[in-house]
Structure 1
Amino acid sequence: MSDDELSDDMQELNELIAEYRSKEEEDEKEEQQQVSPEEDNTKTSEQNDVDVKNTGVPMDKVIFGDKTKLIKNLEKAVTKVSKHKATTEKEPDNEGSDGGEKKNDTNEGDKRKAVKRKPVWTDADDEEIQLGEVKKETKRTGPLDHLKMDKSYKEHLTSRFTRIVNQPKWASLDEKEKQDSGDEDDDLLRTVGFLNKPAESVLTPGHLNMKRMKDLNRATYGEGVITSIQFHPTSTAALVTGDRGIATIYAIDGTQNDKLHNIHFPNFPIRCARLLPCGTKAIFGSVTRHAYLYDLMSAKETCFRWSQDFGNLCNFQISPCGRYLVAAGICGEIHIYEAKTFELIRTLKQNDQVASLCFTGDSQRLIVSGKSSNINVFSMRQQRLEHKFIDDGCIVGNAMDLSPNQRLLATGSREGVVNVYDFDKVMLSSSPQPVKTFLNLTTGISCVRFNHSSELLGYCSSYCKDAVKIAHFPSVTVFANFPGNMPKLEHVRTLEFSPHSAYFALGSNKKCPLYRIKHFQNY
């Protein structure tokens, strides 16, 4: 509001005040003329009290109070507004500087919160070494035009590592927070608890984007015929065992796959090996009458022996809860042990010899496939047979696996047939029909395995070379580009996905081919 407008408003207000006072004086004169002196003398004090009670109070006096007080308050308010306006116009620069200082203070406070962590130790030589100095000393042949020789060798190694393996969460520094204080959407999401994250991408069928890396056991190739591959549940490492009694732990990076530890069991050809869910212990079984429990933290082994009646530990599984160890015995016996002490809990019985075992995700049920078309479901709580059904088209069963989402059950037979069932419907019928039957392989199925998201099913046969396929769900189709024109895979006996399906490993006569599935980002 300008000074001219303010002066005009003051003149109008003064005119209104003058008119209001003149009108008030006229009203008082009229009231005095109407009242006669005789009536004033006859009124008593009691009548005056009654008149005061019965007289109506004007509404404007109830709301605004006395007229004189209202006029004085209006005059005070107008003078305060005019004084404040004058002071603000005289000192505009001072306020601007104060506001800027306040903004700078807030920005400095935000920057203090977003201070990045510094490395504990740095080596100056890492920054000075260039890529050209290192590449000249190697035995690599061919042009190096695609490499920037003036680039830091440290940056080259870092970029190559992040390209092959994503940066682990523990190595990522604190990200700088955004300084947009006026972003109402972020404030809303930060207070009410909604998750602002992109939708997860869906794996598409038809073509699987994957790359073959260096062999998992390239550091030694000393295990012999690969019998088992176990990825560590938390660390980027894998346990590889063979029939020579050697178990090796390798670090997984896709390029070097260095050997971390080697374990040798004399006169003990390893047939089956399993890591406990905690990731600190491993159990090794063989055709002998004893087994080994190995502590990965203390590097100590414990040998457990049992009588001839309990058979061996060639085929066993560990429950997801880590409590039970279930092993296939002789003549259809199923032995339930305490996983950490090998104490026998109970022995179950079925008519056929045991071919494969698997648990449900809650460890409440045990699914057993026999050397026939029968599949039995046992209750671990009641320790008795709960359900029994026939595998469609199967004569001799070989392999079996239950998907992590507990919805699909895959079975593989000696005839090369892979059936996939809806597990909920299986528990309601003694002769269920499979959702899908895969006939891509013509020889006996050695292994079937689901990935962590239940989108991929890998199955293989050890009776011929390159006999391995990967199926996609829910489209129930096979990827045409795998194994494709990749190098020969020899006789694949076992296969395994990493905990989050970023890696896919195969076990053959000597080698462990390793693949990187690019759709999945985490190990």
Structure 2
Amino acid sequence: MQTRHSPAVGTLTTVRFHPTASVMMAAGMDENISLFQVDGQTNPIIQTVHLEKFPVVRARFYPDGSTLMATTIRSTSFYCYDMIVGSVTRVRGIRGLQESYIRRFELSPDGKIMAIEGTSGYTHLVSLKTTELVGRVKVDGKITSSAFSLDGTTLYTTSNSGEVYIWDVGMRRCINRFPDDGSNDTTSIAVNDTYLACGSESGIVNVYQKDSCLQTHIPKPLKILKGLVTSVNQLAFHPSGEMLATASSQKANALRLVHMRSLSAFSNFPAKEKKGLGRPQSLNFSPGGGYLGFASGQGKARLYRLKHYKNF
């Protein structure tokens, strides 16, 4: 495993890899979105898009890589950057959406739906094709995180009451609901074809067999991970399904990699470095799993090469 550093780009909130090109995006509160060519050596910056008076809270690539979407702190507007043409478009709100701002969102892997985490427990479903509100679902309490299944047909949401909701996106209905084992406040969620992972305010991460979460109202975790001691706000499965990254932005160096076959953390990561990792704000694996990128909380995007995986 090798580590590289990108140039400083302000207080970062989002790090994401492009789905098809060897490009990493870093965006933050300095109103900039920076794109880096990932070569594993110097990782040069290739473009910076400045969004005037628009500190970026969250940014995501469309699943096909054609567009980059960004939201800010308190606004119902969001920006779309056309990666092909190089044009920036400001979308000034969504008709029918009764929220004071659009901040946290996820895009379905099939490229059809934008799920916006709203207030009063609502998640709003917006068509990416027409930018129209097409439905909404609701949890009891406050929504804390959301994640789509890999095929985009199912949406998983968590609440501050420690419950997990599983939604049929097409039917807009709850197909299962269960308490996250031992959690009073589930803060993050990640899912792949085999596993579902939930992070909590206490730092615990529960790993479930995904099928059991669909079939029973009280699934039992395969493993309770206790490597973190502060609120878990970042979870990501490696594309191969062989690893799970867990992180907390509340504590320096609070980033762990878990081997899924043994359900144990890698003892050699994070390696001891003079300046440490900072407080990880956002993390993402590249499409082929060869890289791990995250925002360090020090104004830098950190990039790790996972040598076991040959593809970007």
TM-score range with shorter-chain normalisation? over 0.9
1:349 aligns with 2:135: no
Structure 2 CA distance for partners of 1:340 and 1:243, relative to 1, 3 Å: farther
Report what 1:387 is aligned to.
Answer: 176
Equivalent residue, structure 2, for 1:423: 210
Alpha-carbon distance between aligned partners in 1 of 2:26 and 2:287, rounded to the nearest angstrom: 16
1:463 has 2:250 as partner? yes
The aligned counterpart of 1:245 is 31
Q: Output aligned runs, 1:234-383, within 5 Å.
A: 234-287=20-73, 288-306=75-93, 309-383=98-172
Letter in 2 for 1:468: L
Report the CA distance between 1:303 and its aligned residue: 1.4
CA contact (8 A) 2:165 2:174 kept: yes
Structure 1 partner of 2:304: 515
User: What is the rounded CA distance, in whole Å, between the counterparts of 2:100 and 2:176 in structure 1?
Assistant: 26
> What whole-Å deviation, never above 9, does each CA across 1:357-399 have from its counterpart, x for those lacking one?
1111222111111122111111112111111000001111111
Matched, 1:489 2:277: yes
Distance 1:491 1:380 in 2: 34
Instruction: Work out whether residues 16 and 283 of structure 2, in 8 Å CA contact, stay in contact via their aligned partners in 1.
Output: no
* Matched residue, 2:263: 476
1:479 maps to amino acid: F
What percent identity do the matched residue pairs reach? 28
How big is the shift at 1:243?
A: 1.3
- Amino acid paired to 1:355: T
Cα distance per residue 1:172-229 (max 9 Å; x no partner): xxxxxxxxxxxxxxxxxxxxxxxxxxxxxxxxxxxxxx121x21x32xx12x221111
SS of the aligned residue for 2:78 comes to strand
Instruction: Please say if residues 272 and 313 of structure 1, whose CA atoms lie closer than 8 Å, have aligned partners that are also in contact.
Output: no
Q: Is 1:227 equivalent to 2:13 in the alignment? A: yes
User: Secondary structure of the equivalent of 2:211?
Assistant: helix
Higher helix share: 1
SS in 2 for 1:427: helix
Residues 128-168 of structure 1: CA deviation (Å, up to 9, x unaligned):
xxxxxxxxxxxxxxxxxxxxxxxxxxxxxxxxxxxxxxxxx
Structure 1 unmatched runs, 5+: 1-209
Distance in 1, Cα, partners of 2:167 & 2:179: 15
- Mapped contact 1:375–1:388 kept (Cα < 8 A): yes
Which residues of 2 match residues 199-218 of structure 1 at below 5 A?
Answer: 210-212=1-3, 214-215=4-5, 217-218=6-7
The superposition leaves residues 323-345 of structure 1 with CA deviations (integer Å, 9 ceiling, x where unpaired) of 11110111111111111432111
2:16/2:293 contact within 8 Å kept: no
Which letter does structure 2 place at the counterpart of 1:380?
Answer: V
Aligned AA (1:492) = P
1:149-188 correspondence runs (5 A): none
| C-alpha contact 1:250 1:257 (8 A) present in aligned 2 | yes
**What are the superposed Cα offsets for residues 389-448 of structure 1, whole Å, 9 maximum, x if unpaired?**
000011111111002xx1100111111000000010111221211000111111111201
- In the aligned structure 1, how far is the partner of 2:19 from the partner of 2:227? 31
d(CA) in 2 for partners of 1:397 and 1:312? 23
**Residue 485 of structure 1 aligns to which amino acid in structure 2?**
K
Aligned length: 307
* Separation (CA, whole Å) in 1 of partners of 2:44 and 2:130: 32
Amino acid of the residue matched to residue 251 of structure 2? C
CA–CA separation in structure 2 for the residues paired with 1:303 and 1:485: 43
Shift of 1:231: 0.6
Query: 1:345, 1:234 → 2: CA distance?
Result: 28
> 1:446 is matched with which residue?
233
Give the conservation status (yes or no) of the 8 Å contact 1:310–1:329: yes
Q: Which runs of 4+ in 1 moved over 6 A?
A: none
Which structure would you say has the larger RCO, counting Cα contacts within 8 Å and 6 or more residues apart?
2
Counterpart of 1:498?
286
Deviates further, 408-417 or 504-513: 504-513
Higher alpha-carbon Rg: 1
Match of 1:358, SS? strand
Instruction: Kindly provide the amino acid, as one letter, of the partner of residue 63 in structure 2.
Output: P
Deviation digits for residues 431-470 of structure 1, max 9, x if unmatched?
A: 2110001111111112010010110101111111111110
TM-aligned CA deviation for residue 311 of structure 1: 3.6
List gaps (5 residues or longer) in structure 2: none
In 2, the alpha carbon distance for the partners of 1:303 and 1:344 equals 17
Q: Note if contact 1:375-1:391 (Cα within 8 Å) is conserved in structure 2.
A: yes
1:362 and 1:468 map into 2 onto residues whose CA distance is 28
Q: Distance in 1 between matches of 2:129 and 2:81?
A: 10
- The structural deviation recorded for 1:263 is 0.7
Residue 258 of structure 2 aligns to a residue whose secondary structure is strand
Would you tell me which structure has more strand in proportion to its own residues?
2
Partners of 1:313 and 1:225 in 2: CA distance: 20
TM-score (norm 2): 0.95
Deviation at 1:302, TM superposition (A): 1.6
Aligned partners of 2:78 and 2:93 also within 8 Å? no
Amino acid at match of 1:260: I
Does structure 2 conserve the Cα–Cα contact (< 8 Å) formed by 1:225 and 1:508?
Answer: no
